[in-house]
């Protein structure tokens, strides 16, 4: 995928979250059932509280969930591109009693390894994020980068959204041709359809077709390529969440 296309797709989601951040956050209040199993993999380091990196932390609900599942303290760093969602995260985490550090980070523009300045983490979580990252190479490279941030016995947990399990999924898809026509009407450059990857989609929010979300849904071959590229070994793989109990696939790696 060309860099210009990646930037256009990232702009799609920036517009979406600027417009719908408040509505989106209000629908993201409950913890996902799969998180409890992930937290069960967290090892307790000796002599210090566990360090947690929440990549794409949104409104901070995983950090708040972690506080409800643990009696012991932990150090929490949450990063997200949306300044609007980070404001919600600050409030939620404060209410949950979490001493949090939050940073505005664009995963397309930033090197996380440099940003964390040599810190290693006992748990790196990336939930509901990978489907927003355009480009197969970028997704694989990010997974590899996150795996390199693990402390000894640390775990990396990633969720993969599987919306095709929802019977109403097709009704939410916005055809690329229709979206490009609206971009032209706004005097914006259309997205080159031939540069898109299989699994790239635009999805409406509450029926709105003007500012959809860009989402990528990887096939099994792409998921396996992530697993093969990782130096930490896969220690758990399961499905959870949603009405079907299969809305997300989880990959858990341990160093």
Average pLDDT over residues 162-189: 88
Query: Is residue 247 within 8 Å of 159, Cβ to Cβ?
Result: no
Structure-block tokens of residue 49:
């509280």
Strand 75-80 and strand 208-216: the pairing is: unpaired
What tens digit of pLDDT does each residue of 2-30 get?
999 999 999 999 999 999 999 999 988 89
Report the SS3 class of residue 64: helix
What tens digit of pLDDT does each residue of 91-141 get?
999 999 998 999 999 988 888 888 888 899 999 999 999 999 999 999 999
Domains, the chain, with CATH or none: 3-166+213-254 (3.40.50.150)
Q: How confident is the model at residue 89 (pLDDT cuts 50, 70, 90)?
A: very high
**Residue in the structure block whose two tokens are 């380091």:** 45
Report the SS3 class of residue 253: strand
Please list, in sequence order, all residues whose beta carbon lies within 8 angstroms of the beta carbon of residue 103, skipping any fewer than 6 positions away: 77, 78, 79, 115
Report the SS3 class of residue 171: helix
pTM of the entire structure? 0.94
What's the whole-number average pLDDT of the chain?
Answer: 93
């Amino acid at each position: 995928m060309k860099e210009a296309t990646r930037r256009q797709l990232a702009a799609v989601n920036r517009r979406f979250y600027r417009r719908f951040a408040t509505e989106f956050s209000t629908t993201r209040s409950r913890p996902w059932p799969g998180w409890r199993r992930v937290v069960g993999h967290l090892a307790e380091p000796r002599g210090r509280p566990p360090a947690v990196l929440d990549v794409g932390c949104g409104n901070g609900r995983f950090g708040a969930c972690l506080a409800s599942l643990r009696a012991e303290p932990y150090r929490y760093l949450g990063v997200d591109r949306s300044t609007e969602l980070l404001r919600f995260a600050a409030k939620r985490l404060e209410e949950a009693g979490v001493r949090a550090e939050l940073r505005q980070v664009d995963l397309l523009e930033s090197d996380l390894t440099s940003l964390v300045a040599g810190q290693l983490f006992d748990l790196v979580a990336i939930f509901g994020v990978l489907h927003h990252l355009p480009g197969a190479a970028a997704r694989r490279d990010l997974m590899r980068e996150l795996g390199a941030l693990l402390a000894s016995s640390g775990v990396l947990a990633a969720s993969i959204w599987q919306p095709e399990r929802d019977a109403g999924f097709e009704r939410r898809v916005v055809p690329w041709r229709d979206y490009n026509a609206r971009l032209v009407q706004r005097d914006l450059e259309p997205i080159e359809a031939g540069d898109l990857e299989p699994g790239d989609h635009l999805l409406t929010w509450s029926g709105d077709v003007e500012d959809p979300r860009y989402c990528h849904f990887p096939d099994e071959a792409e998921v396996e390529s992530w697993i093969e590229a990782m130096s930490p070994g896969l220690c758990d793989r399961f499905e959870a969440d949603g009405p079907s109990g299969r809305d997300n696939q989880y990959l858990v790696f341990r160093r």
